[in-house]
Structure 1
Amino acid sequence: MVLGHSEMPRWGCNFIYMFHMPLFFILSGYCFKEKYLENVGTFIKHRLKGLYWPFVKLSLLFLILHNIFYRLHIYSSIYGYRGHGIAPLTLHEFKDSFWCIITAMQSNPQLLGGYWFLRELLFSSILSLVLIKILPSIQQNKYCRHASVSWLIVACLIMSALMSKFGLALPV
């Protein structure tokens, strides 16, 4: 993954970007502790405590501080996230952002750009748990589990290549 952020040739970056994040999330979900497989409630509780709650706390903190950051010129109407300037939030925008953070884990504070992965990791780890619970043969047979993960990785690579070729993107 680090190679994709280095000064390597563009073709190398494009190749790595086709699969590096899906692979990271699949492996993260695959590597969770086996004891959590026995109790789904405990697993989800730990994921919410470790991924959802930190995301919500930090997003709400930055939402509350948004207008203060604007007045201190930390946020700017000229320079901003993805080339768009940032303006002070109205009360209506504040309420909308608050509910987006709580219900959909969607937040875009300029200073929290790197926290997008918490939402994705939460959902991918829960998806991994569901897949393992739905397919009990994977849980019982270690070799079958490794083969299934390998096929899932290959499927993600193929899906990523097709989406890239046809210019498709998953909804956010």
Structure 2
Amino acid sequence: MTFLPYIFGLTSLLIGLYLFLRSFRIWKPRPRNKEQEERSDKMLEKYGTFMKVASIILILKGAYDLAVPNPDRYRIGNRQQNTEWTPEYRAIFIKNCMRDAGPTATNYPQLAKEYCDCSADRIMAAMTREQYEKTLSKSFEEQVKEVMPVFQGCVDRLRQQIDSVTKRGK
């Protein structure tokens, strides 16, 4: 689907250039016979102004589509999914993170909460919700490979804090 803006943009640009050259009489195709030449001249007399305006619009539209391609414009049904992170999704992320933290959340609830906040902030800054959901649909190993570099700093900080709490406790 990402190639459609280029296809439509190039098509619009070429048709616009053709109409521009024909309507301003810069280029005139060779007629096969006298009748075809007369028909072409009559068409230009009748629709010349329309062709000039349409050619300029098509050239601008084609150039815009090529310069600023937007594949979402050509989605069937044009349904746009909300891929932004909302406070509700952040709360769900943190809740799931606390649940998955297991014994760490039980033994060090405040540190686990800080870790989950840090992880949520980093993931939300690095990925869209759609990208994150795609990552979750992959195997655990692939998830770790994609997501771990994003919040590795949070993991390191959690380990340091747990180590310092453990050392103080001794």
Q: TM-score, normalised by structure 2?
A: 0.25
Computing the radius of gyration from Cα coordinates, the structure with the larger value is 2
Q: TM-score, normalised by structure 1?
A: 0.24
